[in-house]
Amino acid sequence: MDRTSSRLAKLRESLSNDDVDGLLVLCETNVRYLTGFTGDASLLIVSDDRAVIVSDGRYTTQIAQECPGVECQIRQVGQVMNSALADVIGKLGLTRLGFESAVMSVANFEDVKQRLPAVTWIALSDRVEALRSVKDDDEIALVRASIAMAERAFAMLRAGLRLGDTEKDVADDLESFLRRCGASAASFPPIIAVGTRSALPHARPSREARIGDDDFVLVDWGASGTLAPYKSDLTRVLVTGKVTPKFETIYRTVLSAQERAIAAIRPGVMARDVDAEARSVIEEAGFGPFFQHGLGHGLGLDIHEAPALRKESDVTLQAGMVVTVEPGIYLPDWGGIRIEDDVLVTPDGCEVLTHVPRSLDSVRVG
């Protein structure tokens, strides 16, 4: 069985308890995962025995090349998507159809219902995302390749880091290095945050703050692969000045929290329990109120995907999941420290896929 057939079979199995005739897949990433199609502006209808991509004439040849085993309905020039969608659903004879409720807008839903009054619509979520959360060997290899690109780019950045460069300068350099190392793009706009600005977990690089304005800089970056856009995601804090006692205390606390969490990762463990391991270290050190985000998230075709490592998560970890582990402490008017690595859940534990050193001595620059 080829990859597309296998993934469609798993999806159909997951829908067996939903009392639906099929699923309307609207998320472009999910369409790609299920079929291999890399274009946009297209939908996928999966029924018990058929899978049909609804697209337009720009992609006729591309669909034939990328997913020859999947049926295709090319809408006519000038025909709106929902009209073509209604035609296909009618031909397939579907009467109870699930749809990705997190993706479809209210306006679009109302229009589709009007076109297909005989269809009962069932709001579903996370059916494809749950499948994507467990990676096969090929996907894991693509994540490893993405990590290797990101790590080479970071080494280039660190070697050339100059006092006086703006955060924007450094972010631009890092994106260039990522492409030179083989990435199609950065996984997301890199975060470069000097000193007090590192207390903003998603700080945007500024043209005013400069390397050397404070003793440290936070770098959060990742690569998106070229063969397929599987992502990587890392964070390091680099010391460009002196290591103060306060910095050392907070850094060691965050590192200890990360190490405790990684040691807890294995199949059968609840994601929330891994989050709790890291959170307990930070709380015991007195910094609990300053760690206000989840411990991590899944990585794959999207930079944020299932599973989530957070307090309320009821997900059980499985072998093949790839997650970030990124505890942080963020103190207003001082700064923030976050350490992030990518971790694979293995059959008997876990493997840290990232290799950038994270000891306190290793983060000193110059």
CATH of the domain at 128: 3.40.350.10
Shared-domain flag, residues 126 and 157:
no
Q: Same structural domain for residues 155 and 261?
A: yes
78 lies in the same domain as 14: yes
Range of the domain at 320: 137-363
Same structural domain, 80 and 221 = no
Q: How far apart are CA 98 and CA 155, in angstroms?
A: 47
Which domain-ending residue is among 82, 116, 132? 132
- The residue out of 132, 151, 168 marking a domain boundary is 132
Q: How many domains does the chain have?
A: 2
Contacts of 203 (CB under 8 A, 6+ apart): 167, 191, 192, 193, 197, 218
- Here the CATH number for the domain that contains residue 320 is 3.90.230.10
Write down the pLDDT at residue 227: 85
The per-residue pLDDT string of the chain (366 residues; one tens digit each, 9 = 90 and over) reads 799 999 999 999 999 999 999 999 999 999 999 999 999 999 999 999 999 999 999 999 999 999 998 999 999 999 999 999 999 999 999 999 999 999 999 999 999 999 999 999 999 999 999 999 999 999 999 999 999 999 999 999 999 999 999 999 999 999 999 999 999 999 999 999 999 999 999 999 999 999 999 999 999 999 999 889 999 999 999 999 999 999 999 999 999 999 999 999 999 999 999 999 999 999 999 999 999 999 999 999 999 999 999 999 999 999 999 999 999 999 999 999 999 999 999 999 999 999 999 999 999 997
Residue 221 sits in the same domain as residue 128: no
Same domain, 310 and 169: yes
105 and 152 share one domain: no
> 160 and 105, same structural domain?
no
Asked whether residue 237 falls in the same domain as residue 351, the answer is yes
pLDDT of residue 106: 97
Q: Are residues 269 and 213 in the same domain?
A: yes
Q: 143 and 279 share a domain?
A: yes
Residues 158 and 223 in one domain: yes
Domain end: 132, 152, 183, which one? 132
